[in-house]
């Protein structure tokens, strides 16, 4: 199974049409089984941005697309618009896997919250899929991410959510929000953070990117894909932080493009 995760599109003033359309062309060529969009599709949650985003996503040819709302999508009562433009499915079965969505965005708040009821629902839902690969997708990050400065906007109940994920033996968690690709391992669970696919605002990693995740049985192999460039393993991203400094990234990006 092939999963593509894109995140933090931010249709609005900082949106790059060129980067987004290049990424969509690349993703269409991959023909993934599912595309997971982990939030912040718009910048301000306003009608013109939702219309822009819906028009741009028509270029995506994937059969299964999971759309998740982010905190920017919930601004300006955007929560009333999101479901009109993007279908929402909280549980999606794909081959031998199940993808469960946690809604963490709250109106006019930058921090996230899962809440007790949704947390209980998560445990009950994952308990029904003992023989499947368990994937959880959420907009906000559940663990702080390096190179992103002071962090006061993780989900407020991160400890409870992490306990439920580990208890339920989740295999993979997909997060967005911080515009910084990274990976953490907690016990047998991988937590994969996506960078921004098309927003000019980047942190720590100064190229637009998305994640390509290959699943073979219980084996999960995530890679970072530079928009218009090459693949990078997360081991390299973590090991070679020096290549991600602003003084080096331009040359590194040029070499990837070649």
**Structural domain range at position 81:** 2-257
Q: What is the CA radius of gyration of the chain?
A: 17
Q: Which helix (H) or strand (E) holds 160?
A: helix 158-167
Nearest-CA neighbor of 76 among 123, 54, 43, 101?
43
Q: What's the whole-number average pLDDT of the chain?
A: 91
The pLDDT score that the predictor gives to residue 146 is 84
The pLDDT score that the predictor gives to residue 152 is 64
Count of domains forming the chain: 1
Q: In the beta sheet, which residues pair with residue 228? A: none
pLDDT tens digit sequence for 134-150: 999 999 999 988 888 77
CATH number at residue 79: 3.60.21.10
Nearest-CA neighbor of 196 among 135, 257, 145?
145
Residues of the chain with pLDDT under 50: 246-248, 251-252, 254-258
């Amino acid at each position: 199974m092939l999963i593509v995760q894109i995140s933090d599109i931010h249709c609005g003033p900082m949106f790059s049409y060129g980067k987004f359309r290049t990424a969509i062309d690349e993703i269409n060529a991959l023909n993934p089984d599912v595309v997971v969009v982990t939030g912040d599709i718009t910048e301000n949650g306003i009608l013109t941005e939702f219309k822009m985003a819906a028009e741009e996503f028509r270029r995506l040819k994937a059969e299964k697309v999971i759309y998740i709302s982010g905190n920017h999508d919930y601004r300006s009562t955007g929560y009333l618009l999101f479901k009109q433009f993007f279908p929402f499915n909280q549980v999606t079965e794909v081959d031998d896997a199940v993808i469960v969505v946690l809604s963490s965005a709250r109106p006019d708040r930058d921090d996230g919250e899962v809440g007790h009821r949704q947390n209980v629902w998560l445990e009950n839902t994952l308990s029904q899929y003992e023989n499947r690969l368990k994937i959880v997708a959420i907009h906000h990050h559940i663990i702080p991410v390096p190179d992103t400065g002071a962090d006061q906007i993780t989900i407020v109940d991160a400890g409870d959510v992490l306990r439920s994920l580990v208890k339920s033996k989740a295999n993979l968690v997909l997060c967005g929000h911080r515009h910084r690709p990274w990976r953490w391992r907690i016990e047998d669970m991988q937590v994969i953070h996506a960078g921004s696919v098309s927003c000019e605002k980047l942190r720590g990693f100064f190229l637009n990117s998305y994640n390509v995740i290959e699943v073979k049985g219980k084996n999960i192999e995530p890679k970072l894909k530079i928009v218009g460039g090459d693949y990078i393993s997360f081991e390299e991203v973590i090991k070679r932080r020096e290549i991600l400094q602003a003084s080096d990234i331009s040359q590194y990006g040029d070499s990837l493009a070649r």
